[in-house]
Amino acid sequence: MGCNPGIVKAERNIDESMMKKAPCAIPDKQLSINFGYDKDSLRSHFQDNLGRPATLVLTDNSTNMLSVRTINGVAQIRLHRMFLYSGEPVIAEIVSFLKNRKASMPHFRSFIRTNREHITKKHPKRVSVITAGKYHDLQDIFDEINLEYFGGMIKSRITWGTKSARYFVRKRTLGSYSRNSNMIRINPVLDKKNVPRYFLAFVIYHEMLHESVGETEKGCRRIIHSAQFKNKERLFKDYEKATAWETTNLR
């Protein structure tokens, strides 16, 4: 995914996976909600405590409860709207997190656990599965890789993506895997006569590894391409040839 390294300084996320950690000492009961902010006053509160400009976007995101990134010295904060009524202890922990990404947040996690009914779960959209391309059949390659490397244990579906090739080339996204829908999408720019089958197979193998290996956590960060993932990626029989082709033809 493309970004401007000269602009984006830092980005962190907190999601529901934090609730899977060891239980904290805070009692698992409903916190008082007689304290509240509106959006503008909460943004001002964050800005005053950080000592630098801040923006605040309230979301209904059911996965990422809190995220922050710094662009041009401005803290860009995204927070689930239910935290407007979370109480002083929770807001204080959020401020600590914004200042120090490693801050402990027992009140924050407890508030999420006891307010699940306010978190709207989005149902995955139905996806039209198209595997046959003009030059390459994704399902055929997927089945070969599944049998050879995973013993047929990968259960995800695969389809060609629907966005324009121009968009994907600009974003440098050749494939993606969604754990929510268990779907692999392959950039249609790869459905060309001059794209070798072994390279397309490598892209598909990479996305299948996401289902096989999963994600790990380091602090509040989710690690998608762990050391284990990268080691298994190199086990692909045409790894050297595929990466060399990508370097020559796509970079």
Catalogue all structural domains in the chain, each as residue range(s) with its CATH number.
8-118 (no CATH), 138-249 (3.30.2010.10)
pLDDT recorded at residue 224: 76
Residue 164 is predicted with a pLDDT of 55
Please report which residue ranges of the chain form alpha helices under DSSP H: 39-50, 88-99, 106-113, 138-150, 165-171, 197-213, 227-233, 239-249
- pLDDT band at residue 231 under the 50/70/90 scheme: confident
What is the mean pLDDT of the segment spanning 148-164?
A: 84
The 10s digit of each residue's pLDDT in 38-97 is 888 899 999 999 999 999 998 887 778 888 888 888 999 999 988 888 888 899 999 999
Residue found under tokens 């060609």: 160
Which of 125-129, 139-143, 166-170 has the weakest average pLDDT? 166-170
Give percent of the chain with pLDDT exceeding 90: 23
Q: Which two tokens stand for residue 210?
A: 């996401």
Note whether 80 and 59 are within 8 A (CB).
Answer: yes
Q: Report the chain's terminal Cα–Cα distance, integer Å.
A: 14
| Strand partners for 96 | none
The pLDDT value recorded for residue 136 is 92
